[in-house]
Structure 1
């Protein structure tokens, strides 16, 4: 049992009952105990239920039921938003993408949590930032994520550290072996926003400041990021079919031998390793003048403001983000944990050789803008970049970057 001490519970429950549209206070639910529902994206690796079974065996009166939402993040958010806007108590614990924190807190859909109840000081620092909004903890990090560059060791002598090195190697391999050189996630959706954000960061810029109050995109750096992709398309080392790629398509293209390099999340490692064996290599994303910067991904766990069993929900989150469970999240689900010490565990590194590189990538990663209007920002970014990539006319990169900045500034002004 992981029940907190009575004093801590009193503090937690006092904080837990407060949630309003301005991320302030106001009771929305009851802080009771009982069965709960865990709503999260589809479990594609079937690792969640065994972890839930362990909780259920120890808590027969407070069993948790898994409610799997669609695999696509946009669809998950849409279903959660519809449920919470209706103030339904159907969901108790919410598995949130890390960039939803501000929106869900601002709308009063989740409750603030007591920081002292969770070992945040033992988590990787960047992942903790994703759960904080207006100086309050609104969720608890559950998994982390950062983009990695997958490459073929049998085709690449030394992995690239810069875009220029990536370009040179990809062009040579494409010409010699008649396969694609490089691809990421270039369809017009959140994945393209991530890929563009990483390119901007890797060129030394940013799109929006950390608190989401100002557009800080330098149009020149934005154009440099777009031109990196346009050059690959024009020269053929980025295949045009990659304009339809999401994570799954790019993963399959790489592990099936149709790409020499691919940007993807750590979940792609297991299947690629099974297919390619010792031919698989993993390194940090390259940048303009050296190693690049990834977008910070992952999932956080939050408590619905309309849950009738908030006490149980919070205790469940403590259990689910414990060190023991986080180890299982990696070993059984292949998802990056949030506990820093797991990345230095020799036994885990032997089983998951990419862990040291992944830790470096997470520590160098940047979270997406903290904004209640993040979805609007992402839509503008993805649609703008997609237009440039599909119609690579002269000067397209400069025009798109300037226009994008104006549209983003309009969204920030009206939020």
Structure 2
């Protein structure tokens, strides 16, 4: 299915010291593998490519820390990293800086992948990475409790607030939580709230701040009021993905916003058989998730770019993508896997997940994304901790973002 050749590795890599024809041992740098499924896939490659073995280098779990380590390595023009596991929002920044090399589109079956995911791997009309996993936020809920109350899962914020308040009190559970520690996860949760209220943060090309103060304040108030009214617990202010996952699967939460990777562990927890997932709620109906995921790129300073390219082709192939789902509980990027009857029987959430991915929006696309995210998470954290009203927060945020975007 995949064509051979290496024509897509461009001159930029050669100019900056990489080796487009280089083969040999490689290092794959990516975020911490919390489910342990990556190493077995690498082992399969290593057994059949003894002269081109891959060493897995696990970076910290938090995306901010992963990026910091990668950037430090690339700014030093180090050849230590060969294959990079990039958060989908880093493509523009890394490509613009010349840290990753462009790839030949014809070498990858892009037409069989989910289109919104493919878009995250493009920059300035060129393919700079290959989609590996996708992601879209889902609402996890206690199906056993809603069934007992003859209720359907909430589609709107008002329904979520009502059920979280009433049922949380009745069943002695906390109502709802997302990822509200001031880091990248909070930027994601805020972006989803803004989108689900009908707004957006930046224009699609990342050149203009399009934050509507009304919809942004409405989205932020959804979270602020939840904390103020108590149906979002104060503990959630310290939650990242793992903390919120554990709180839900330990039976402490009625509702939780999380990524699909939390589904597998929950089926082996105290709430196995008692939960389900649905699309995130919004202001007036189903909301819009943030499009997440991981793309694989080749370092411009790698001396083994030919090997790295072949490894990426192997790692993103159909059978490995199936294992991404079955062994890692991560959403694959091949569209046909979401329509596989056997997989749907095993993972009944797949149709909902596909809907969520296809209707999701990427985080603000900008070569200055790290600055954008830091400003957003800091400002939103102040509002959630009741240090500044929502309307003042979004007004100040819009001004700060405008200054970042205008700065050369």
Counterpart position of 2:80: 90
Task: Indicate which of 12, 17, 22 corresponds to 2:8.
Answer: 12
Quick one: distance in 2 between partners of 1:240 and 1:71? Answer: 23
Q: Aligned partners of 1:247 and 1:343: how far apart in 2?
A: 24
Hey, what does 2:172 align to over in structure 1?
Answer: 178
CA distance in 1, matches of 2:245, 2:284: 26
Deviation at 1:414, TM superposition (A): 0.3
Instruction: Tell me if structure 1 keeps the 8 A contact 2:2–2:108.
Output: no
Does residue 94 of structure 2 align to residue 104 of structure 1? yes
**What TM-score do the two structures reach when normalised by structure 2?**
0.96
Question: In the aligned structure 2, how far is the partner of 1:71 from the partner of 1:174?
Answer: 30
Q: Work out the number of aligned pairs and report it.
A: 402
Instruction: Provide structure 1 residue ranges, at least 5 long, that are not aligned to the other structure.
Output: 20-24
State which of 11, 16, 33 in structure 2 corresponds to 1:43: 33
Distance 1:308 1:221, change over 3 A: same
| Partner Cα distance (1:69, 1:186) in 2 | 22
Instruction: Measure how far apart 1:28 and its partner are.
Output: 3.0
Task: Say yes or no: does 1:399 pair with 2:392.
Answer: yes
Is 2:3–2:108's contact at 8 Å kept on the other side of the alignment?
Answer: no
Q: Give CA-to-partner distance per residue, 1:123-145, whole Å, 9 cap, x none.
A: 00111111111111110000000
Query: Does residue 414 of the first structure (1) align with residue 403 of the second (2)?
Result: no
Q: Compared with structure 1, are the counterparts of its residues 165 and 82 closer, same or farther at alpha carbon in structure 2 (3 Å cutoff)?
A: same
| 2:239 aligned partner | 245
2:295 corresponding residue in structure 1: 300
State whether residues 29 and 83 of structure 2, in contact with CA within 8 Å, keep that contact through their aligned partners in structure 1: yes
Deviation at 1:350, TM superposition (A): 1.4
Normalising to structure 1: TM-score of the pair?
0.94
Deviations 1:57-91 (A, max 9, x none): 22122121111112221111111111111111111
Instruction: Give the match for residue 30 of structure 1.
Output: 19
Alignment partner for residue 327 of structure 2, among 317, 329, 332?
332
Structure 1 residues 34 and 3, CA gap change in structure 2 (3 angstroms): farther
Per the TM alignment, residue 12 of structure 1 is displaced from its structure 2 partner at its CA by: 2.3
TM-align CA RMSD: 1.4
Moved more, 139-148 or 67-76: 67-76
**Which residue matches 1:22?**
none
- Asked if the contact 1:3/1:315 (under 8 Å) is kept, the reply is no
- Provide the rounded CA distance (Å) in 1 between the counterparts of 2:274 and 2:130: 37
Moved more, 132-141 or 171-180: 171-180
In structure 2, how many angstroms separate the alpha carbons of the residues matched to 1:338 and 1:120?
Answer: 10
Aligned to 1:312: 307
Q: Aligned partners of 2:58 and 2:180: how far apart in 1? A: 27
Moved over 6 A (4+): none
Matched with 1:254 is: 248
Would the aligned equivalents of 2:81 and 2:299 in 1 still touch at CA under 8 Å? yes
Structure 1 residues 67-121: Cα deviation after superposition (integer angstroms, max 9, x where no partner): 1112221111111111111111111111111111111111111000011100011
Which of 205, 215, 220 is 2:209 aligned to? 215
Supply the distance in 2 between the matched residues of 1:4 and 1:160 (Cα, whole angstroms): 46
Structure 1 CA distance for aligned equivalents of residues 2 and 50 of structure 2: 14
How far off is 1:392 after superposition?
A: 5.9
Cα distance per residue 1:145-181 (max 9 Å; x no partner): 0000000012212000110111111111122122211
| Alpha-carbon displacement from aligned partner over 1:365-413 (angstroms, at most 9, x marks no partner) | 00112211101111111111110111166xx111111111000000000
In the alignment, is the contact (CA less than 8 A) between 1:147 and 1:295 conserved in 2?
yes
Residue 161 of structure 1 contacts residue 290 of structure 1 at CA under 8 Å; is this kept in 2?
yes
* Structure 1 position 260, deviation (Å): 0.5
Aligned residue runs from structure 1 range 2-401, under 5 A: 4-5=3-4, 8-9=5-6, 11-13=7-9, 15=10, 17-19=11-13, 26-31=15-20, 32-156=22-146, 157-275=151-269, 276-391=271-386, 396-401=389-394
Shift of 1:26: 3.8
Contact 2:2–2:107 (CA under 8 A) maintained in structure 1: no
Distance in 2 (alpha carbons) for counterparts of 1:78 and 1:392:
28
CA distance in 1, matches of 2:17, 2:314: 24
Aligned-pair CA distance for 1:218: 0.1
Unaligned 5+ runs, structure 2: none
